Amino acid sequence: MSSLPAENEVEISEPGRGSGGEPVRLNRRLFFQLLVFGGCRDSAMLVRALEEKEVSGTLYADLNDHRGVGLLTFAEDPAFFIDGLRPILLSQPFAELSLKEEMTMTGRTYSRGYEQDLEETLIERPKRRVLDPELRWAVWYPLRRSGRFEQLEEKEQRSILAEHGAIGHAFGKAGLAHDVRLDCRGLNRDDNDFVIGVLGRELHPLSVVVQRMRKTRQTSQYLTHLGPFFTGRVIWQSIPAASSTTVNE
């Protein structure tokens, strides 16, 4: 970690606060990518391929397509998606699946400037959540804010985001839903700003979170695009530095 840069210096690392309130930064983050496929007749074959290649990620059964699956992978180096993942997807059994390009979601973890443990925020917590065997259900979706939001004063923006955050905090504290928030600006074809993952033990609370969010000022007044939504249940998850686990369908 390092201190804040001098004024006008270009800085791309993530900001946070040290234990004494001093500004700190960390130039690490995770990149995530969700790929959604149709035409899957045997998910066990996909699991075997992922385990043989030691891929880190989660495979979901698509709630809205009985032959659909979603593959969520992550890495600190985004070159993994091209150099590591692409050859796997171009080989059997993934090669026989049909990619739903409109459902692809790519994003990176980020900090907001007040986090004390940046490694936990940017690396460990997101990884832990998407690989948690207790969080079997997931809803993933992209969103784009309107230009009007960006023109608001910072104090007003914080107030709007706090309303959103309070809902997420309440559901998280109750153990009903946990989120993974990714910045996807410049990383997706549809010019979205963020990708959101809402994860939980049961599906119903995840639907309720989305319902509650619809009433916030951010969603009702300052979003220009929301979705498409991918809803899935875990088939398989990798376990770092250990054997992998398959969840019975």
At 4 the pLDDT is 53
At 6 the pLDDT is 56
At 244 the pLDDT is 42
> In total, how many domains does the chain have?
1
Residue ranges making up the domain that contains 148:
133-233
At 132 the pLDDT is 97
CATH number of the domain residue 173 falls in: 3.30.70.1030
Q: Is residue 47 part of a domain?
A: no
Q: Is residue 56 part of a domain?
A: no
Half-sphere exposure (CA, 13 Å, Cβ side) for 19? 0
Q: Is residue 124 part of a domain?
A: no
At 104 the pLDDT is 98
Cα 20 to Cα 219: distance, rounded to the nearest angstrom: 35
At 19 the pLDDT is 83
| Residue ranges of E strands in 65-177 | 69-75, 98-99, 105-108, 137-145
CA gyration radius for the chain?
19
Q: Is residue 204 part of a domain?
A: yes
pLDDT digit string, tens, across residues 202-215: 999 999 999 999 88
Low-confidence stretches of the chain (pLDDT beneath 50): 242-246, 248-249
